[in-house]
Structure 1
C-alpha cells in the first residue's frame, strides 16, 4: 500500500481540495517512517516544501484509527506568530475529522485554555515558555493532559540547537514524559540543518530510539539574488567607472527617495513601491532606526506610510497587524523585521526580501531567502551593504569591506558546498541547570538533595555536568536563599528564589530586554540592552566606549571613551560567525572570481578591496606591520576561536612580546603595538602553543563572564568554568596558530617546542 492510500479519507479529501496532483517526496518519505517504523523522524527540506503536512498527514491518520485518550500530539514552535499561523492551517485539515487543535501561549484567551484543560485531546500547539509554565503550574494534571501522548513535533529545530532555549525544550519534553509516563516519538522539522546526524542525535536525547533522516533530493531552484554596496556618503565606489550591465532581477527605480537621503535606504525605498517585501536587519535597535528612516522618506515625499515593523519587543497588536497585512495579497506594503519573521510563517505572495548588511549565519540567510519564492515565484533577495567611507588616514584593517566579504562568503559556501552551520551541543549549560533546578522544585515541591539531583542531572542535556559541580551549585543557592533546607533535610524554593520563579519572565531562558543606564563618571550617556562584559566596547551617543564596570542589580554600565569601531556582537545570537565563513572571506580577497549577483558598486568595492589586500599582503600574511611598532593580526577565525586567541595573546604572549593596546574588531582583526619583530612574534606563538593550556588559564583574574540569563545567580567558579570549557574554542585557535607558524618558518624543526 502506498502512502497516499494509507492516509485517512479526510486527509485524501484535503489533498484533492487543494488540487495536489501527487505527494511530494518529503511527504512520501515521512509517511513511510511514521507508518512503518517506531523511529523518531527528522525532516529537512527547503522552506515551503510541505514539511508540516508531511508530519501531520500520517499522525492524524493514526489518530483517526485509534483516537488518543488525552492530547495525542504536541507541536512546539519557537514563535507565537508561527503557532498562530500553523493553528489556522491545521484547523482546516482537522475540522472534518473532529480532531481538536489547541494553541497555547501568552496571547491566547484563558477561555480557550480552559476548554483544553477540561477536554484534553487532539493536538496542542505551544511555545517552550508556555510548556515550562504548564509544568510548573499544572504539574498534578500532566497525567490527565498527556497520559496518551504519542508524538511531539518540534518545528524550526535548527533555531533550538545553538543555545539554552533548545536545551530547555529537550529538558521540558523529558520531564513531561517522565511525569506522564509516556515515551512519544519525536519529529523535527527544519529547512536549514547543517549536520543531520548530530541533529538526529539531539532530537532523540533520552528516548532510546534512533532517528530516521530521509534523504530528499531537492529539485533545482533558481535564485534571484543581488548584492549592492553603498557608502553612507554620496560618493560611491563605482563613481567614474563604466556602467555595468544590470542583472535581470533589477528593474528601473519606480520612485525616488528624497534628495540627500542615505543612499542605501534610498535604494530600498525606491525598489519597494507597489510591492510586498521584507527588509531584514540584524538587531531590534536597527529595525527601529530603519523603519523610522523609511517612514520619514514617505513623509518627505507626501506619500502614505507603506512600511510596517515587526520584532519581538513589540506589542501583540503591532505584530499581528504586520502579519495580517503581509498575508493579504491585496496589500502592497513592506515590513522591516528581525529574525521574528525569519522562520516558517506563511506570509503569502511575498515578492522580494532585502537584507541590510550580511546576516551572521548561512542558516539565517537561507531562512530569510526562503520567505520569498512561494506560490510559483522564484526566491529573491537583495543584499544592501552599507559602510562609512574610510578616511584618508584610516588604518588598513578598517578599510576592508568586512560586511561585503561576509555576505559573499555566506552565499558562496552554500552555493559551492551546500554547507550550513553545525549545531553547538558540547556546552556546559550551567545557567539552564539553575533554571531547571528551580523549575523542578517549584513544580514538585520538597525534594531531598538526592531526589533533586536524580530528576535534574539525569536529564540528557546535562550529560557533561558532574555531580560535584551540581553540589557546588546547590550549596550556593542555599547560601543566597534561592533554595531553602527544611527541618527534615529536604529542599524547597527559598524566599529569594520565589521572587524569581513567581515572575512570568522566569519561563524564558533567553535574555529579557532590560535596559541598562550607561554612565561615564557622572555623565549619563543613554541606555542599552544586554550590555557586554567588562573590557568589551559599546557604541552610544555617537562615540565608542569600553565597559569598565557592570552593576547588574542597579542596571548600570560604567565606561570610558576609546577610539576604534565596535566589534560584532558575541553570543549565541548575532555575532556567532563560524570559522568556515571567515576562511571563505579570505578566499574572496585572494581569488579573481567574479560573482554574477554583485551589482555595480559592490563589484567596484570588491575590486578596490582585492587590490588593497594584495598590495598590503593581507591575502598571504596573517601579521601585517602598519608602520613603526603598530601591527595588525588577521586570524580568519570564527567568533569562539577568535575569543580564545585574544586571551591566549593577552595571557601567554603579551609580556614576552611587549604588546600593548590590543584592540579587537571581533572576529575580523586585532590591532596592537609591539616592541618585538615578526620572527619573535611567531617564535613566541609557537613556543606557547606547544605548552599545555588549561582552559581556566584564559579566564582573567576576578573575571566572571556573565552571558546567559541566569549566570548572575551561579557561583563564580561555575560561570568561569562554563565559559572556559563551553565557550572558548581553544582547539580551533591552536590549530590556526600552529598553521601560521608552519607557514612562516617553512619547517617545523627550525623552531623547537620548548
Structure 2
C-alpha cells in the first residue's frame, strides 16, 4: 500500500488510531522490525491522529529500550504496563541420550498418547526426527519456514483437532500460533536464548490444573551445560535484552527507493522529514543522510529531474523485475526451488545447492516429514515437481549468519562447572556427566575469572565469554600476532608462533583500553576479515565500508569485549 502512486493511501490511513505489535521482542532487533517502524513513520504522514502504538511481549529484559524503539515521532507518553505475575510451578526434565537411536526411543515414549510440540534447532533436524518418528506409528506433523503456508496450516489444523499428536518444529511454533491445548513441550538439545526457552515452555500449562513444562533430550556435554544454564538463568528471572540498532543503512536504502515508488518523485527533505525519527535511523544525522543520498545519485540508483528525485536506471535494472517486486520486501533468502506435488500442491522449498546433490545421486529427499522423488525441474519457474517415495535423504539448508551464544549464558555454563550445586531436574546420566565435567575442569576454571593455559602448542584462553566477544578477540590476535587463531563460545586459542606469553598479555592489555578501538584503520581491517555473509538484498549496493560494517556487527562485539576485559583486569588486580 505504501509502494504505488495508484493506492489511495491517505484515505486508507486517515483515521488510524491504534497499531498493535505482538511478540515485539522478536522484531525489535531485526530487519523485519526496523522495516516496520520505518513504515509506521511513513503512515503517520497520512493520519489525522498521532496513533497509539502498543507492543506486547512476555519475555524482554529491557522494556524501556523497546518503548524508545517503538515511539519514533509519536508525542504520546511512554507507559510500561507490567502486571504482577502469580508464581506458578514449572516442571523441567533434562535427559541425556547416548546415541541417536536411544534419543528417538526416548522421544517416542515421551510423546505417546499426548499432544506435544517437539522443538529442534534446525530445519534439517526437524525433517530427520519427523521421518523417524513417523516409523514408530505416532501422529507426526512438521512445521518450519521452508514449508509452504498451506502445509504449515494443515499441520496446525490437524494438530488442533487431535488428541494424540506431535508437531516437530523449529522456532516457527514458538510465537503466537494457536494450536489449542498442549500437554508437553519437548526439546532436542536446547535453544540458544532464555527468551526462546520461556516462550516455548509457555505454550503449556494454560489449562486448569496443568503445569508449564519442558523436557530436554540432550546429545552432548556442551548442550547439557547450555540447557542447565538457560534453565537456571530463567529461574533467576533473567532474560536477554533486545539489542536495537540506530544506524541501519540498508533499511534506509530500501525506504528511499520505496518512497520513490510510492510518490513517483521525492526530495531529500521529504524523505528526511518522514523517517529520520524512526529509531533505526536516529544515529544518522542529516549531513550523513545527504552524503548517502548523493552516493545513491552518483551510482544511478536515483535520477535527478530538476530537484525531484525518482528511481534511477541502476535501481530499475536491479530491482525493476515484476513491477519492482524485490522492493516490496526487505527480506533476503538464498536461491530456493518450490517443491510441488503432482496434484499441484506446494509442499515447501529446498535450496538449489541441495537440489544439485539430489540430481547427482538420483536420490529422493524428505520434506514435511515425507519422502519425495524428483520427477522434473522447471527452471524458469524455479520449481521441482515430485512424487511420493519410500525413503530419502534429509535436506540441508544453509544459514546466513552465525548462531553464537551470549556472554551471560556462557558465563553461567562456566559457573555451573565451578560450583557443586545439584540440579533436581537432571536424569542420572546427566548427573554423572556433569560430575565428570566438574572433575576435569573445576580446578582450572575456579583459579581465576578467565584462566590461560600455555604450552608448546601455543595458548588457550578460557574466556567463556560467548561467540561475539571471542571472535572479536580472535580477530585482534590475528592482526597483532599474524598467527593462526581459533575461537568458539568457550575459548580463544592461539596456535604456536614466535610470540612469548608476555606478548599475549601485552595485547590483552592494549585491547582493554577504549582508545585502542578508536583507530579507523584497525576497524577497517576488522571489517575486511569478516566472512562473506549475504545478510540483505540491499547490502551489495551500500558503500563498501557500510556493507562490511553490516556483516561485522553480526560477528563482533567491541562494547562487550571491553566489558569482559575490564572484568578480567579487575580479577587480576584482586589477586
TM bin (shorter chain): 0.7 to 0.9
- Determine helix, strand or coil for the equivalent of 1:643: helix
Aligned to 1:384: 217
Gaps of 5+ in 2: 337-350, 360-397
1:577 to 405, 426, 438: 405
Tell me if 1:373 matches 2:205.
Answer: yes
Structure 2 CA distance, aligned partners of 1:228 and 1:678? 42
Q: How does 1:304-383 map to 2 (within 5 A)?
A: 306-328=139-161, 330-376=162-208, 377-383=210-216
Change (3 A) 1:509 1:693: same
Tell me if 1:157 matches 2:24.
Answer: yes
Structure 2 CA distance, aligned partners of 1:649 and 1:308? 48
Aligned to 2:53: 186
- Determine helix, strand or coil for the equivalent of 2:56: strand
Tell me if 1:650 matches 2:507.
Answer: no
1:460 deviation in Å? 4.0
Structure 2 CA distance, aligned partners of 1:415 and 1:695? 42
Aligned to 2:130: 291
Tell me if 1:510 matches 2:331.
Answer: yes
Aligned to 1:265: 104
1:189 deviation in Å? 1.2
1:612 deviation in Å? 0.9
Change (3 A) 1:462 1:695: farther
Larger gyration radius, structure 1 or structure 2: 1
- Determine helix, strand or coil for the equivalent of 1:423: coil
Structure 2 CA distance, aligned partners of 1:702 and 1:592? 44
Aligned to 1:11: none
Aligned to 2:509: 686
Q: Is the contact made by 2:247 and 2:282 (CA closer than 8 Å) also made in structure 1?
A: no
Aligned to 2:223: 403
Runs of 4+ more than 6 Å apart: 516-519, 524-527
Q: Is the contact made by 2:418 and 2:446 (CA closer than 8 Å) also made in structure 1?
A: no
Structure 2 CA distance, aligned partners of 1:287 and 1:342? 14
Aligned to 1:497: 315
Structure 2 CA distance, aligned partners of 1:570 and 1:698? 23
1:698 to 511, 523, 534: 523
Paired residue total: 512
CA deviations on 1:632-688 (whole Å, 9 max, x unpaired) are 22222234333322222222x324xxxx321222x2222231344544422331144
Q: Is the contact made by 2:119 and 2:171 (CA closer than 8 Å) also made in structure 1?
A: yes
1:207 to 52, 74, 90: 74
1:618 deviation in Å? 7.0
2:280 to 452, 455, 461: 461
Q: How does 1:703-718 map to 2 (within 5 A)?
A: 706-709=533-536, 710-718=538-546
Change (3 A) 1:409 1:293: same
Q: Is the contact made by 1:343 and 1:367 (CA closer than 8 Å) also made in structure 2?
A: yes
Q: Is the contact made by 1:590 and 1:619 (CA closer than 8 Å) also made in structure 2?
A: no
Change (3 A) 1:726 1:358: closer
CA deviations on 1:220-271 (whole Å, 9 max, x unpaired) are 1111111112233xxxxxxxxxxxxxxxxxxxxxxxxxxxx62222211222
Change (3 A) 1:576 1:428: farther
- Determine helix, strand or coil for the equivalent of 1:382: strand
Structure 1 CA distance, aligned partners of 2:328 and 2:230? 34
Structure 2 CA distance, aligned partners of 1:468 and 1:719? 19
1:586 to 406, 411, 414: 414
TM-score (norm 2): 0.81
- Determine helix, strand or coil for the equivalent of 1:262: helix
Change (3 A) 1:206 1:509: same
1:446 deviation in Å? 0.9
Bigger RCO (CA 8 Å, 6+ sep): 2
Structure 1 CA distance, aligned partners of 2:273 and 2:253? 15
Q: Is the contact made by 1:570 and 1:639 (CA closer than 8 Å) also made in structure 2?
A: no
